[in-house]
Amino acid sequence: MRLLLSNDDGCHAPGLAALRAAMATVCDDVVTVAPDRNRSGASNSLTLERPLRVREVDDNVFAVDGTPTDCVHLATTGLFDEDADMVVSGINTGANLGDDVLYSGTVAAATEGRSLGLPAIAISLVGDACVHYDTAARVAVSMVRLLVAHPLPADTILNVNVPDRAYEDLAGYRATRLGYRHRAEKLIADRDPRGRRVYWIGPAGAQADAGPGTDFHAVNDGFVSITPLQIDLTRHASLSSLSDWLDRL
Amino acid sequence: MRLLLSNDDGCHAPGLAALRAAMATVCDDVVTVAPDRNRSGASNSLTLERPLRVREVDDNVFAVDGTPTDCVHLATTGLFDEDADMVVSGINTGANLGDDVLYSGTVAAATEGRSLGLPAIAISLVGDACVHYDTAARVAVSMVRLLVAHPLPADTILNVNVPDRAYEDLAGYRATRLGYRHRAEKLIADRDPRGRRVYWIGPAGAQADAGPGTDFHAVNDGFVSITPLQIDLTRHASLSSLSDWLDRL
Amino acid sequence: MRLLLSNDDGCHAPGLAALRAAMATVCDDVVTVAPDRNRSGASNSLTLERPLRVREVDDNVFAVDGTPTDCVHLATTGLFDEDADMVVSGINTGANLGDDVLYSGTVAAATEGRSLGLPAIAISLVGDACVHYDTAARVAVSMVRLLVAHPLPADTILNVNVPDRAYEDLAGYRATRLGYRHRAEKLIADRDPRGRRVYWIGPAGAQADAGPGTDFHAVNDGFVSITPLQIDLTRHASLSSLSDWLDRL
Amino acid sequence: MRLLLSNDDGCHAPGLAALRAAMATVCDDVVTVAPDRNRSGASNSLTLERPLRVREVDDNVFAVDGTPTDCVHLATTGLFDEDADMVVSGINTGANLGDDVLYSGTVAAATEGRSLGLPAIAISLVGDACVHYDTAARVAVSMVRLLVAHPLPADTILNVNVPDRAYEDLAGYRATRLGYRHRAEKLIADRDPRGRRVYWIGPAGAQADAGPGTDFHAVNDGFVSITPLQIDLTRHASLSSLSDWLDRL
């Protein structure tokens, strides 16, 4: 089995180091392809306007001057002779809960591994300070082992969020649905040192749907939240009403 | 009613010009916020690492040095005093069919308008040459008019693909599900003029699921394809089996 | 005669528009190649890591997603069939005085035209508000006309700074040497909205050598300052003492 | 004494590692601030449009997401409590000879150290393969030691080019003037995988003035070439003729 690791915090992030160390205990063929800079918020973006450069920065660790999706895309379309069986992306510094997954590069890297032989995992550490990467790493190890022993369908993408606490203090595991957040906070208007107007994207909104069954709820209660994601964005339930609506055109 | 227009081909793209002209016939309050460069493939990426700059390049047309999602995000979190009621994104030069929507900045701009009062529309012109922007513009006008007269739920996102032909030659409208593509083509390895290795992301894969009911199928048959998209990425159907699986941990 | 115009404020800058309009009165073959974004501070930087894209944004106006030096470099190494005879760069919004020239993209664009048939001109408007682009445009016209009638050596680069006032209120023209500035102001430490530390480059230093004969002095007195620049960076006066010093090695 | 090291090949470049190791033998207070990516060709460009991020990637080694000039600028305007006495930039992979210095980020980093207490050194390894970084490192050590023992004026910038051969095979040291190159090679027109036109900047021109006394000549003969550079770009010799010429206006 060959594991492909990536992330969106960049190849130097502590979460990736923890994941690499943990995965080495599960599998003797691990390769990492990650952005050379922090690319949080990159979503599934692909770099189409310029070519990418790949640099081996450590043994079997490759840095790409692109997005998380670029990394996994290159790794699965010819960068290596051999295909990976599974992508594990993370350990992200900070939550990827609710609508965060739309913007998350961590989740996008996992999504890009959807054509490989095994499910893909995106794993994030939830907390303001982010100390217990070892906890998330143990969770990742357990999940990879279980996936190998009891495979899930290959196009499954698991979005895993781990509370930032000692492994012993976790309340357990829960299968969850995504909650959602309130509208994002207002933009932050500022001026650069030359007096020109600039705008920063504001913080994500507060939890809006964080009721029982959601990923927010599980994590708030100390559980590891595991949400199965789909790649098919069709809202199938609306198809027939949309068809009726179109008849009016 | 206030319409917010955006795209991913950039503020100078011919498809956006056609859309602007058409929307002016429907509504007297139209504002455009679009990337200052081509940002195809940007997906839902948000620029979090640096502040953004906004420049008014024409009457009520603003260029942002960021992604399509940045544009709509800024426009809906405080750039203007007044909120828009609806986002129309496009007209994209080229198809956004099947898995394309994962990577599409055109679709992402529409998605980012999900909290406004009316559904969001992403509209793309399907063809190699892309000549008939006027056809797609007429489709956009029809749809906006119909949405105003007969609203759909506000969180609806409609992904519209229009064959590149005269309006009279369209076969009609079809509500569709997303098809999907084969795995992407191999990366393209090249060398820069200094002899260093670079890699281009390869082309999208060929149509894999293009059967009846899909967007590919509709467009291939000369229909305007309209796919309702969902923002909730939870694969609800897998929740209970995932829960069982987790019991093994 | 063919004139090549460029700048560093970007193809949409008001100074470039003023320069284009003015040059059209001098010459019927004017082509503009300028950055698609503001690239102030770009110095002589060349984009070597990725290929460049060129877009014709107006009649004979080309926007490049690169630096001012990239623009003039492409324009003089094969973008056009015909060579230009002269580069005029500007009109820059703000001064390029003293050590500014080291960092200036406006000056760099002129420098990159050093191999053409006529001297190159970099022209900047000096003031906080920058209103009188027409004044600088008239200065540019006068200088181009004089250069055609009474050519200077082809490798001459003229750095022109024009006070921001009505043409009638200019005190005249002065040949000047570059003054220099005090050390730059301290960096500006800030935090992004996610609490992470960022640093802005601080403002340029105050005038240190602004005595008689300098560009600062001329402009402060209401004169157009014209400084001849050299491309040979060798400090010839130090060669023999350096040679002696090396004997100690 | 505090040494500040930088380069333009990026913080991971082998030449910087060799320089760091060598400088540690000369001085016990060495700090490195270098770009996080290869920024060859960056010249003196300053990043004014966005704030910069600094990451400590190793003990006293800081990576900046900016240019070489940004690195030295931040390091000398407040990033550290203590000022450096001298900048050493390199060891560049490849020559910085003749007009190369206009575009070189390696030389620019040294230039940016012009306000410190001791001369600045830019050091490059000249060859196609670049193997003998240890040779250039020994040269750097010799020069720093000599500068400490026998200081040169503080605003001196020394551009050092070392042939890529064993130290024993060097022919000696020579004080040189910059030669110059023929006009750059033609641009390289290409198409991206989507069929769109792109242009790469072509290679530097061949040696045009490589006669006795030039840096090209010294290096071609196996000598270490040391060129003193000036920051004052005024072409003083032309001032009086320019003044006469302006009288015609």
Q: Using one digit for the tens of pLDDT, what is the confidence trace for D136-161?
A: 999 999 999 999 999 998 889 999 99
Interface of A with B in 61-80 (CB under 8 A): 67, 69-70, 73-74, 76-79
Inform me whether the pLDDT recorded for D117 exceeds 90: no
Of A26-40, B28-42, C193-207, the least confident: C193-207
List beta partners, residue C38: none
Q: Give the pLDDT mean for B121-138.
A: 97
Q: What per-residue confidence (pLDDT) applies to A117? A: 83
C184 pLDDT more than 90:
no
Is D92 marked within a binding site?
yes
pLDDT category at D183 given cuts 50, 70, 90 is: confident
Question: Which tokens sit at A155?
Answer: 């196009």
What gap in Å lies between CA A16 and CA A36, rounded to an integer?
12
Name chain B contacts of C65, Cβ cutoff 8 Å: 37
| Section A175-188 average pLDDT | 92
Q: What is the reported pLDDT for C249? A: 85
* Angstroms from B140 CA to nearest CA on chain D: 27
Domain extent for D106: 3-180+209-246
Search chain D and give the residue with CA nearest B192.
Answer: D200
Say if the Cβ atoms of D192 and B200 lie within 8 Å.
Answer: yes
pLDDT band at A1 (very low <50, low <70, confident <90, very high): very high
DSSP for B151-187, written as a single string:
PPPTT-EEEEEEESS-GGG--EEEE-B--EE-SPPPP
Phi-psi region of D205 (alpha: psi -120 to 50; beta: other; left: phi over 0): beta
Q: Which pLDDT belongs to residue C118?
A: 84
pLDDT at D242: 95
pLDDT (0 to 100) of residue D30: 98
User: Do C65 and B37 count as a contact with CB atoms less than 8 A apart?
Assistant: yes
**Nearest-10 Cα torsion for B92, B96, B101, B105:** -20
CA-nearest residue of chain B to A139?
B249
Average pLDDT, chain A: 95
Tokens of B216: 């590919």
Q: Edge-to-edge, what's the strand order for the sheet holding D157-163?
A: D54-58, D61-64, D30-35, D3-6, D86-93, D120-126, D157-163, D223-229, D172-175
Question: Is the Cβ–Cβ distance between A64 and A96 less than 8 Å?
Answer: no
Confidence band of A182 (pLDDT split at 50, 70, 90): confident
Q: Is A37 on the interface with D (CB under 8 A)?
A: yes
Query: How much is the average pLDDT of D56-81?
Result: 96
CATH of residue D20: 3.40.1210.10
Radius of gyration of chain C (CA): 19
Q: What is the pLDDT of residue A210?
A: 87
Answer yes or no: do A203 and C192 touch at CB < 8 A.
no
Q: Shortest Cα distance from D218 to chain C (angstroms)?
A: 13
B14 pLDDT more than 90: yes
DSSP characters over A12-32: T-HHHHHHHHHHTTT-S-EEE
Amino acid letter, A126: V
Task: Using an 8 Å CB-CB cutoff, list chain D residues near A49.
Answer: 192
User: Nearest CA of chain B to the CA of D88: how many Å?
Assistant: 26
Show residues of chain D in contact with A55, CB under 8 Å: 12
Per-residue DSSP letters for C190-241? EE-TTS-EEEEPPPPPPEEE--TTBHHHHHHTTEEEEEEE-S--B-GGGHHH
Instruction: State the chains in contact with D (3 or more Cβ–Cβ pairs under 8 Å).
Output: A, B, C
**Option in B51, B53, B188 nearest D193 (CB):** B188
User: In the prediction, which pLDDT does A183 show?
Assistant: 84
pLDDT in tens, A194-234: 899 999 999 888 888 889 999 999 999 999 999 999 989 99
CB distance C205 to C185 below 8 Å: yes
Percent of chain D surpassing pLDDT 70: 100
Q: How many other C-beta atoms are found inside a 10 Å radius of the C-beta of residue B25?
A: 12
Cβ neighbours of A65 in D, within 8 Å = 37
In a domain, D127, yes or no: yes
Q: Does D9 belong to an annotated binding site? A: yes
Q: Is residue C7 assigned to a domain?
A: yes
Confidence of residue A115 (pLDDT cuts 50, 70, 90): confident
- How far does D6 lie from chain A, in Å, by closest CA? 19
Q: In B, which residues are within 8 Å of C55 by CB distance?
A: 12
Residues of chain A with Cβ-Cβ distance to C50 below 8 Å are 50-51
Q: In chain B, what residues touch C36 (CB-CB under 8 Å)? A: 36-37
Instruction: Give the pLDDT of residue C207.
Output: 86
Q: Pull the structure tokens for residue D20.
A: 């760091």
Q: What is the pLDDT of residue D177?
A: 97
Stretch among A28-37, A160-169, C108-117, D66-75 having the lowest mean pLDDT: C108-117
Average pLDDT taken over every residue of chain B: 95
C-alpha A232/C-alpha B99 separation (Å) is 8
| A210/A177 Cα distance (integer angstroms) | 10
Interchain proximity C40–D47, CB inside 8 Å: no
Dist CA D58 CA D50 (whole Å)? 25
Q: Give yes or no for a contact between B32 and A171, defined as CB atoms under 8 angstroms apart.
A: no
Of chain C, the percentage scoring pLDDT greater than 90 comes to: 89
- pTM beyond cutoff 0.90: yes
- Between positions 139 and 158 of B, the ones with CB within 8 A of A are 142-143, 146, 150, 152, 156, 158
On whether residue A204 sits in a domain, the answer given is no
Please check the confidence at residue A56 and state whether its pLDDT lies above 90: yes
Helix ranges restricted to H, chain C? 14-23, 68-76, 100-103, 105-111, 133-149, 215-220, 239-246
DSSP for B229-243 reads E-S--B-GGGHHHHH
The pLDDT of C52-67, averaged and rounded, is 97
Structure confidence at residue C183 (pLDDT): 84
Residue A203 within any structural domain of the chain: no
Mean pLDDT of all residues in A91-100: 96
Cβ A23 vs Cβ A141: under 8 Å: yes
Rounded CA-CA distance D137/D125 in Å is 10
| D19 occurs within a structural domain | yes
Least confident span in C12-16, C146-150, D207-211, D212-216? D207-211
B50 touches chain D (CB under 8 A): yes
The pLDDT assigned to A20 comes to: 98
Paired with B198 in beta bridges are B190
Number of cross-chain residue pairs from A and C with Cβ atoms under 8 Å apart? 20
Using the beta-carbon criterion (under 8 Å), do B203 and D194 form an inter-chain contact?
Answer: yes
- B58 vs A224: CA distance, rounded Å: 50
- The minimal CB distance from B36 to the residues C37, C48, C192 is found for C37
B247 pLDDT exceeds 90? yes
Binary contact (C77, D202; C-beta < 8 A): yes
Residue of chain C with shortest Cα separation from A51: C50
Domain count, chain C: 1
Mean pLDDT of B171-196: 93
Is C92 annotated to bind a ligand? Reply is: yes
pLDDT in tens, B51-109: 999 999 999 999 999 999 999 999 999 999 998 999 999 999 999 999 999 999 999 99
Confidence of residue B115 (pLDDT cuts 50, 70, 90): confident
Q: How confident is the model at residue C213 (pLDDT cuts 50, 70, 90)?
A: very high
Nearest CA in chain C to D245: C150
Return the pLDDT at A188. Answer: 95
For residue A12, list chain D residues with Cβ-Cβ distance below 8 A.
Answer: 55, 57
Residue B43: band (very low, low, confident or very high) from pLDDT cuts 50, 70, 90:
very high
Instruction: Judge: D200–C51 Cβ closer than 8 Å, yes or no.
Output: yes
- What's the helix, strand, coil split of chain D in %, to 5? 25, 30, 45
Query: Has residue A202 been placed in a domain?
Result: no
Check pLDDT > 90 for residue C210: no
**B199 in a domain, yes or no?**
no
Report yes or no: A55 at the C interface, CB cutoff 8 Å: no
Residues of chain B found within 8 Å of residue C48, distances taken between Cβ atoms: 192, 194
Of B37, B49, B57, the CB nearest to C12: B57
List, in sequence order, every residue forming a beta bridge with C54; answer none if it has no partner. Answer: C64
Query: What pLDDT was estimated at residue D84?
Result: 95
- In this complex, do A142 and B198 lie within 8 Å of one another by their Cβ atoms? no
Mean pLDDT of A69-95: 96
CA distance C136 to chain A (A): 22
Q: Say if residue A141's pLDDT is above 90.
A: yes
CA distance A13 to chain D (A): 10
Residues 182-211 of C with CB under 8 A from B: 192, 194
Q: How confident is the model at residue D208 (pLDDT cuts 50, 70, 90)?
A: confident
D49 at interface of B, judged by CB pairs closer than 8 A = yes
ipTM value: 0.94
CA C56 to CA A229: how far, in whole Å? 43
Would the annotation count B8 as a binding residue? Answer: yes
**Can you give the pLDDT at residue B164?**
98
Torsional sign, CA C75, C81, C85, C88: negative
To the nearest whole angstrom, how far is the Cα of C168 from the nearest Cα of chain B? Answer: 32
Q: What is the pLDDT of residues D11-48, one digit of tens each?
A: 999 999 999 999 999 999 999 999 999 999 999 999 99
In terms of Cα–Cα distance, which of A125, A112, A101, A113 is closest to A41? A101
Residues D71-95: what's their mean pLDDT?
96
Task: Evaluate whether residue C170 is within a structural domain.
Answer: yes
CB distance D202–B193 less than 8 Å?
A: yes
Residue A169 per-residue DSSP state: G
pLDDT of residue B154: 84
